[in-house]
Amino acid sequence: MNANRRAALFDMDGTLVDSTYLHAVTWWEAFRQAGHRVPMAAIHRTVGMGSDHLIGHLLGPGRDRDRDAAISAAHKTLFAEYWTRLAPLDGAADLLRVCAGRGWEVVLASSAGGAELSAMRNALDADDALSAVTGADDVESSKPAPDLVEQALAEAGAELGRAVFVGDTVWDMKAGCRAGVPCVGVLSGGYCRHELLEAGAQAVYEGPGDLLSQLDSSPLR
């Protein structure tokens, strides 16, 4: 742990990469294939959770839990069809590079894992700005549990009071707050400003480009 290090922790889906609604569509189809009719709007409200929480949140405790793995696998297969077409949000890569250039340890904290996480990193194309990456494969429980944020902070080697977590969902804000890390929200994942503030965001911006343009007055200044 280095008392002088500052850690800028970033979610990926909906925060840096424009993938939120692709997840909503592919989860909808995965549930449909398993015989569940789940409204798209309800699915959108859970994007940002890891699959270890999302399925139970939508289907409830009375579901056949033996089907969870198949539903999750179907979603991964369906979402993989979009990997080569994923695109970063405006300003995302520049934001990471500017933060790194200002001395922040830039770490990704994503609920994705494995090849999916690699596909999003390829789309973002900003590995040169990263100090570390942590994903679902590195923790026991995904967002809204604090594990990913805590692991990202550990990877950065920064103290708790020297970090900021940027995300686009209420699940990101809850995870960051539970880890004791100040949170910044962006609206690019489809949540409204009030919801992110209510979930714990200290400040909210339209997207990564807007955050970059106001960086000097933001918690990442």
Taking only the tens place, the pLDDT of each residue in 155-175 is 999 999 999 999 999 999 999
Regarding whether 153 and 188 lie in a shared domain, the answer is yes
Answer whether residue 1 is part of any domain.
no
For residue range 4-62, list pLDDT tens digits in order: 899 999 999 999 999 999 999 999 999 999 999 999 999 999 999 988 899 999 999 99
Task: State which residues form the domain around 197.
Answer: 6-19+86-217
Contacts of 163 (CB under 8 A, 6+ apart): 6, 7, 8, 9, 153, 156, 181, 182
Backbone φ/ψ region at 14: left (φ over 0), alpha (ψ -120 to 50), beta: left
- pTM (2 d.p.): 0.96
172 and 141 Cβ atoms separated by less than 8 Å: no
187 and 205 Cβ atoms separated by less than 8 Å: yes
If one counts the domains in the chain, the total is 2
Regarding whether 60 and 15 lie in a shared domain, the answer is no
Regarding whether 164 and 124 lie in a shared domain, the answer is yes
Looking at 81, 106, 128, which one is the last position of a domain?
81
Neighbours of 122 (CB within 10 A): 13
C-alpha to C-alpha distance for 180 and 178, rounded to whole angstroms: 5
Contacts of 39 (CB under 8 A, 6+ apart): none
